[in-house]
Amino acid sequence: MTASTGALTDRRGRYNFSGGPGALPEEVLREAQQAIVEVPGTGLSVLGLGHRTAWFRDVVDETVHHLRCLLNLSDGYEVLLLQGGASLQFSMVPMALLRGREQPADYVLTGYWSAKALPEAQREGPVRALWDGSPAGYTRLPNDGELDCNPRAPYLHYVSNETVEGLQFHRVLGFEGVPRVCDMSSDFLSTPVDATRFALIYAHAQKNLGPAGVTVVVIRREVMDAAPADLPAMLDYRRHAHMGSIYNTPPVFAIYVTLLVMRWLRGQPGGLRGVAERNEAKAARLYGLLDASGGFYRPRAALADRSHMNVVFTLPSVELEREFLRRAEAAGFSGLEGHRTLGGVRASLYNAVTLDDVAALCAFMQEFQRSPEAR
C-alpha cells in the first residue's frame, strides 16, 4: 500500500532546529509514515501490532544490536529500552546505586538538567554537589582541577551535554574505580563514545535516536546485579533485562522508529566518526557566524565548553530577540526559541539537521543583522 506523501512534503518545507523532540531524518519520517498504514511484510499498521509478536521481538533485538555495534559493547553490558524519559532515570539510578550507601554520590551541577537530577538522588541517599556552576549562571563547565572527586563515592553523575544552556563536556570526567553515570540525552550517538568507561549511560530518544517515549539505558551487568533486591518491578533494571525490555507494553511505535533511525545511522558515511565530523562542521559554521557578528549575536557558553548540539545565544535586547524569532518562524526556521527558563535563542543541531540547513539559517541571520530593525 502506498500512502500519499504530499502533506509530509509540505511540512518538511520548514527547517527544524527544535531542542527536542528534534528533527528526524526525512527518509525515516517517510518510512514511519508508510508503517502507520502497513509495516512492510506484515499487512498491519505499526500502531496495531502486538508487543508479544515475533515481529516486535525482532524489532527490539535489531535495535539493541545496532546500539551494541555503534557503542562497541561487550557482553558485560545490558542495553535496555525503557519508559519514563530521562527524568525517571534521575530516580532509578540512585535507587539502584545509592540506596543504603553511606558515602555520598558525586553530582556535577552544570545546568538545568543536572540540577534536576540531584534532588531526586537525595531522596535515596547522601549526595554531594561536587561542583556548582549556578553562581556563574551556568555559562561554563569545570576543568579537571576543580573536580575533587571522592574515590569512595558510590558513583559520579554528570550530564554530558546541558541541552538548555548549550554546554558540552568534550572529555570523560572522573577517574577509573568510581563508577561513572552519565545523562547523554542530548548528545548520545552524535559522536563516538567509549561506553566501557561508564557504569551506566542513559539517553532519551527524542534528540538523536527517535521519537519521545523510549529511553536507552546502557548498564554494566555487575552494577545492575548489585542493586537492592526489593525494588518495584518497573523500577528494577534487572527485571527489564530479564524480560528483554518487554516487561510490560512498551512504546511499540517509538521503538520501531528508533530502529529506523539506527539503520539510518549505521548507513551514514564514515560511521559515527563521520556523523561527528559533520556535527562539528555544522557547529563551527554557526559559532563562526556568531563570533564574526561583532557582538550582535552573543554565544552564552564559554569557548571551550560550547555544545555541538545546542547553540545558545542572545541578541542585544529582548525586543530584538522577539523580532528575530518572529521573522525566523515566518522564514521557515522552527524551534529556535531558547528554553522557557532562559530565554534567548537556541539552535539545536541534532544528527538529522544538515549542513545545508545550518547554511540556510546562517544566511537568514546575516540578513537579519543587516536589516533596519537590527540597527
Catalytic residues: 113, 183, 207
Residue from 16, 163, 258, 314 touching ligand PMP (CB under 6 A): that is 163
For the CB of residue 208, give the shortest distance to ligand PMP in the complex, in Å.
Answer: 11
For the CB of residue 365, give the shortest distance to ligand PMP in the complex, in Å.
Answer: 24
| C-alpha cell recorded at residue 297 | 549575536
| C-alpha cell recorded at residue 148 | 575533587
Residue from 15, 56, 113, 324 touching ligand PMP (CB under 6 A): that is 113
Contact string (CB under 6 A) for ligand PMP, positions 11-30, x = contact: ---------x----------
CB-wise, 260 or 309, nearer to ligand PMP? 309
CB-wise, 20 or 142, nearer to ligand PMP? 20
Residue in the shown chain whose Cβ atom is closest to ligand PMP? 85
For the CB of residue 327, give the shortest distance to ligand PMP in the complex, in Å.
Answer: 26
Question: Are 125 and 101 a contacting pair, CB within 8 Å?
Answer: yes
- How many residues form the binding site for ligand PMP (CB under 6 A)? 11
159 is an interface residue for ligand PMP by CB under 6 A: yes
Interface with ligand PMP in residues 73-92 (CB under 6 A): 85-87
CA pair distance 162, 169, nearest whole angstrom: 9
CA pair distance 332, 361, nearest whole angstrom: 10
CB-wise, 186 or 279, nearer to ligand PMP? 186
For the CB of residue 89, give the shortest distance to ligand PMP in the complex, in Å.
Answer: 8
Interface with ligand PMP in residues 198-217 (CB under 6 A): 204
CB-wise, 113 or 237, nearer to ligand PMP? 113
For the CB of residue 296, give the shortest distance to ligand PMP in the complex, in Å.
Answer: 28
346 is an interface residue for ligand PMP by CB under 6 A: no
CB-wise, 157 or 289, nearer to ligand PMP? 157
User: 202 to each of 61, 169, 237, 270, 356, how far by Cα in Å?
Assistant: 18, 16, 12, 25, 30
310 is an interface residue for ligand PMP by CB under 6 A: no
Of the candidate spans 31-39, 181-189, 267-275, 364-372, the one that interacts with ligand PMP by CB under 6 A turns out to be 181-189
For the CB of residue 111, give the shortest distance to ligand PMP in the complex, in Å.
Answer: 8
CA pair distance 133, 301, nearest whole angstrom: 12
| C-alpha cell recorded at residue 354 | 544538515
CB-wise, 35 or 218, nearer to ligand PMP? 218
CB-wise, 86 or 315, nearer to ligand PMP? 86
Of the candidate spans 123-131, 178-186, 341-349, 360-368, the one that interacts with ligand PMP by CB under 6 A turns out to be 178-186
Residue from 185, 258, 279, 351 touching ligand PMP (CB under 6 A): that is 185
Residue numbers at the binding site for ligand PMP (CB under 6 A): 20, 85-87, 113, 159, 163, 183, 185-186, 204
